[in-house]
């Protein structure tokens, strides 16, 4: 913050007029004003006036330095930043205090989000089959797949915002059948979902650790505010779905559970 000095004194007169009252000025007062404010004091006498007066003017030779020292000098402190501005066209201009470790960790998280989205999309396709026909579960996993893809895009946008480079990695082909003799396909798919959500949470915590180790408070805030709270809530919701499917078994209860998912907004 730049502290402003008082407005300059253009003209100040202190004269004793013939018709005015006495003033309590002295040579010491004049010298004090001259030394502290950069003013020159001229003792004036006029014909027909028995007493002397003081005319105080702003002096060109006075001290023009601000009374209070400057706390922040942007033009001086910005010099070191100017030296850091990249000149190569391939280099990011926005990058600041963004380590290579943080950049690599974000790319890894992008790959995690896309892989999870890919698995959820495969589960959606399974429950949407004509011989399975559980439309509520199909709707749930389709929305889950889109949500994980959106998370990946959020990390991609943040990577570009910080001056990093997005590097997409390969994804493994997920299985296409989710039948399970003992548990049934609905419970098996939901338990798999719970495991994937917990794995995603672990990956997010690893990213948070990398950001903390590199003193990247902006990345820490991004992960905490955008993902960690939501991830805990998702794990809680999927845990409840697993518990409910374990209660209803593989019979007609799965149909009721599917109707519940289908009617959810």
What is the per-residue pLDDT for 92?
A: 80
Q: Is 17 annotated as a binding residue?
A: no
Residue 194 lies in a domain: yes
Using CA of residue 144, residue 145, residue 146, residue 148, what is the dihedral sign?
positive
Write the CATH number for 257: 1.20.1260.10
Q: Does an H or E element contain 53, and which?
A: strand 53-58
Judge contact between 200 and 231, C-beta under 8 A.
yes
pLDDT tens per residue across all 265 residues of the chain: 444 545 544 444 444 444 444 444 445 554 554 454 444 444 444 444 455 554 545 455 555 555 566 677 777 777 777 767 776 777 888 888 899 999 999 999 999 999 999 999 999 999 999 999 999 999 999 999 999 999 999 999 999 999 999 999 999 999 999 999 999 999 999 999 999 999 999 999 999 999 999 999 999 999 999 999 999 999 999 999 999 999 999 989 999 999 999 998 5
Per-residue model confidence (pLDDT) at position 31: 54
CB 159, CB 107: distance < 8 Å: yes
In a domain, 38, yes or no: no
Residue 71 phi, psi (nearest 5): -80, -40
**Residue 198, Cβ neighbours under 10 Å: how many?**
15
Counting the structural domains of the chain, the total is: 1
What pLDDT is recorded for position 164?
94
8 Å CB contact between 134 and 250: no
158 in a structural domain: yes
The residue with tokens 């149909």 is 255
0.75 surpassed by pTM: no
Does 207 fall in a domain?
yes
159 is in an annotated binding site: no
Instruction: Give the three-class secondary structure for 108.
Output: helix
| 151 has binding-site annotation | yes
Is residue 43 in a domain? no
Q: Is residue 133 part of a domain?
A: yes
- Torsions phi, psi for 79 (to 5 deg): -60, -40
Q: What is the pLDDT of residue 217?
A: 96
Q: Structural domain of residue 143, as residue ranges?
A: 100-264
Query: Is 197 flagged in the annotation as binding?
Result: yes
Contact present, 155 and 93 (Cβ < 8 Å): no
Contact partners, residue 15, CB within 8 Å, separation at least 6: 44, 53, 54, 55
Q: Give the torsion sign (CA, 212, 216, 218, 223).
A: negative
What is the dihedral angle through the alpha carbons of 46, 52, 57, 60, rounded to the nearest 10 degrees?
A: 90
70 is a domain residue: no
Does residue 113 lie in a domain region?
A: yes
Q: What does 66-90 look like in DSSP terms, one character per residue? A: -SS--S--HHHHTHHHHHHS--STT
């Amino acid at each position: 913050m730049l502290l402003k000095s008082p407005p300059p004194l253009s003209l100040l007169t202190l004269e004793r007029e013939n018709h005015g009252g006495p003033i309590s000025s002295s040579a010491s007062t004049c010298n004090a004003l001259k030394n502290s404010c950069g003013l020159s004091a001229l003792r004036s006498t006029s014909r027909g006036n028995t007493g002397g007066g003081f005319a105080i003017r702003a002096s060109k030779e006075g001290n023009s330095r601000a009374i209070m020292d400057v706390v922040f000098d942007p033009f001086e402190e910005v010099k070191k930043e100017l030296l850091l501005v990249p000149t190569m066209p391939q280099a990011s201009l926005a990058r600041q205090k963004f380590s290579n470790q943080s950049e690599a960790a974000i790319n890894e998280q992008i790959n995690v989000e896309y892989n999870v989205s890919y698995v959820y999309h495969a589960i959606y396709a399974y429950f949407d089959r004509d011989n399975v026909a559980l439309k509520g579960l199909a709707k749930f996993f389709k929305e889950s797949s889109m949500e994980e893809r959106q998370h990946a895009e959020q990390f991609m946008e943040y990577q570009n915002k910080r001056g990093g480079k997005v590097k997409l990695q390969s994804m493994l082909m997920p299985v296409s059948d989710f039948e399970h003799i003992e548990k049934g396909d609905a419970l098996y798919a939901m338990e798999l979902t719970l495991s994937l959500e917990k794995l995603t949470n672990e990956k997010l915590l690893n990213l948070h650790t990398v950001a903390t180790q590199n003193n990247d408070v902006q990345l820490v805030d991004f992960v905490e505010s955008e993902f960690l709270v939501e991830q805990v809530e998702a794990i809680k919701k999927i845990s409840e779905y697993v518990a409910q499917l374990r209660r209803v078994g593989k019979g007609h209860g799965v149909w009721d559970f599917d109707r519940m998912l289908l009617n959810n907004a």
